[in-house]
Amino acid sequence: MFKNHIKIAFRNIWNNKFYSSINIVGLAVGMACSFLILLYVLHEFSYEDMHENRDRIFRINERSAFGSRNHIPYPLYNLIINKFPEIQNIANISRNKKFPIPLKINSEFQKINIALYEANSKIFDLFDIQLISGNPKKLNEKGYSIFITEEIVKKYYPNKNPVGEIISVPLGDISNQYFVEGIIKTIPGNTIIQPDLIVNNLFDNIEYENNWNYIPYEYYILINENADPVQLEDKINSFAKTIDPDTTRTYSLQNLSDIRLNSSEFYEEENIIKKMYLASSIGLLILFIACINYIILSLAQNSRRYKEIVIRKVFGAKQIVLLKQLIFEHLLLCFIALPFALVLAERFLPIISQIFDEKLVIKYFLNWKYIIGLFLTTLFIGIFSGSYTSLYLSKLKPANILKNKIFASKSKIILQKFLITIQLLIFVFLILCVLITYRQINYTKSKNMGFNKANLISINFPQNNFNSNYEIFKNL
């Protein structure tokens, strides 16, 4: 029976090559869009999967009358570091996004767009960051040590071992000389911990140990397996109250896996959840358009199958058998469109990566969730798009077909008009969204800022040199 279904399906697809090609192209485009959106959503949900203890790693955040911060004062860290037995380990990290930093590498100053971290060896204990070479304990010593990534090595030390080389890192008026002590293995893109350089003692010339207002670090804790983060959070807040009963500051624990998706409150990340909802909605609308287009074309081709339905019913074919056969044909067409959709997805992957500002990579044999998503999406499209036309054809009576009494029913005409109307409305909605977004971007670029940007320059001077030579700089 199944072999017969395959033969009939391929025969019908071959006999209607033109319409089948249109359907395959339409389905492939819609499926490719949905696959790319699925890849992006799965990528966002996969953040921090590389860290084995991600479920037990939390960041301590602060809320007060002045707002929310993803840092806590250094004196509080000093007080709680050995206070609570639930805390197995704690790491203080000054984490920055990529921005241009003037570094002296290979005896030359170069402005490099990098993410500079300040941390001690605890960063390697809490997070699964692998070293190619070097001893992380060097970050705990009083000297100036720096660990660099493979990418930095390939770009600036292509033909030599960088260990022992000197890199000058500026901090205000001071430029410290750091000795390269190790090389960090390339870190996957789906984690918030993305250092290019890790240094120690970056703030050693700043007095912050007793300053409750200067907050240079984020604090990540690893709790014991049986510890309750909610109870620990209450203990930290109660302890903070004992230090200062009048304080308005409260502290909360945020799981590592939640930071990427829900940190807009701390002005750290954009609202990724809303971005994911928007992308998913657009992907579903495009997929829905492809399904509607397929249904409309299938309804238009129904009359070509009348004779076949008559003959098969006369020879005893039951409605359920015909229904299975027809749905199988729609599924087969969708799975034929699948490889074309994957080719389109690969082709447009760099563009989507640029739009979402993420390094998206399709790994078919490593990402089983994506493979399941591809299969279920294709299966859903085939059943959803083909169920109505399959049910309509399977219910036809041979006598009505032979007497040419098949007329377009009122419900069928209404359905076709409804689908076409919905399709046009979605098209208009998406086009309006694109036009509004374009005009907003164009407005921000062309808006008069009240000054002539072409006549303004920015120059960085050391603070001590600038103050003592203010009149000279003023009269330049």
Q: Has residue 98 got a pLDDT over 70?
A: yes
Q: What is the model's pLDDT at position 184?
A: 93
Looking at the domain assignment, is residue 322 inside a domain?
yes
Q: Which of 63, 116, 124 is nearest to 94 (CA)?
A: 116
Choose the weakest-confidence range: 23-27, 66-70, 286-290, 340-344: 66-70
Q: What is the model's pLDDT at position 463?
A: 47
What's the mean pLDDT when you consider all of the chain?
Answer: 80
Q: Has residue 56 got a pLDDT over 90?
A: yes
Domain end, chosen from 383, 406, 429, is at: 406
The neighbouring-strand residues paired with 147 are 182, 198
Q: Has residue 406 got a pLDDT over 70?
A: no
Domain end, chosen from 406, 435, 461, is at: 406
**Confidence grade of residue 412 (pLDDT, cut at 50, 70, 90):** low
Q: Tokens 């640029």 label which residue?
A: 354
| pLDDT tens digits along 161-201 | 888 888 888 766 667 888 899 999 989 888 889 999 998 88
Please give the residue range of the domain that contains residue 371.
2-46+271-406
Looking at the domain assignment, is residue 152 inside a domain?
yes
Burial class, 75, CB count within 10 angstroms (exposed 0-12 / middle 13-18 / buried 19+): middle
Q: Are residues 100 and 177 in the same domain?
A: yes
Q: Are residues 296 and 198 in the same domain?
A: no
Q: Has residue 454 got a pLDDT over 80?
A: no
Which ranges constitute the DSSP H helices of 148-305? 150-156, 229-243, 256-259, 272-300
Q: Has residue 262 got a pLDDT over 90?
A: no
Q: How far apart (Å, rounded) are the C-alpha atoms in residues 336 and 22?
A: 12
Domain end, chosen from 364, 391, 406, is at: 406
Average pLDDT over residues 27-34: 90
Q: Has residue 385 got a pLDDT over 90?
A: no
Q: What is the model's pLDDT at position 231?
A: 92
Q: Are residues 32 and 103 in the same domain?
A: no
Choose the weakest-confidence range: 128-142, 212-226, 273-287, 401-415: 401-415
Q: Are residues 110 and 173 in the same domain?
A: yes
> Between these two residues, 280 and 390, which has the higher pLDDT value?
280
Q: Has residue 399 got a pLDDT over 50?
A: yes
Q: Are residues 275 and 402 in the same domain?
A: yes
Q: What is the model's pLDDT at position 464?
A: 46
Q: Has residue 396 got a pLDDT over 90?
A: no
Domain count, the chain: 2
Average pLDDT over residues 398-423: 64
Average pLDDT over residues 401-421: 63
Q: Are residues 212 and 100 in the same domain?
A: yes
And the tokens for 292?
A: 């509607």
Looking at the domain assignment, is residue 141 inside a domain?
yes
DSSP letter (8 states) at residue 476: -
Q: Are residues 205 and 327 in the same domain?
A: no
Q: Has residue 57 got a pLDDT over 90?
A: yes
Q: What is the model's pLDDT at position 222?
A: 93
Q: How far apart (Å, rounded) are the C-alpha atoms in residues 375 and 114?
A: 39
Q: Has residue 411 got a pLDDT over 60?
A: no
Q: Are residues 376 and 319 in the same domain?
A: yes
Looking at the domain assignment, is residue 427 inside a domain?
no
Count CB atoms within 10 A of the CB of residue 73: 21
Looking at the domain assignment, is residue 435 inside a domain?
no
Looking at the domain assignment, is residue 71 inside a domain?
no
Looking at the domain assignment, is residue 118 inside a domain?
yes
Q: Are residues 127 and 208 in the same domain?
A: yes
Q: What is the model's pLDDT at position 268?
A: 58
| Residue 225 · residue 56 · CB < 8 Å | yes
Looking at the domain assignment, is residue 241 inside a domain?
no
Q: Has residue 33 got a pLDDT over 70?
A: yes
- Integer-rounded Cα Rg, in Å, for the chain is 31
Q: Tokens 């082709």 label which residue?
A: 347
Q: Are residues 295 and 211 in the same domain?
A: no
> Between these two residues, 285 and 423, which has the higher pLDDT value?
285
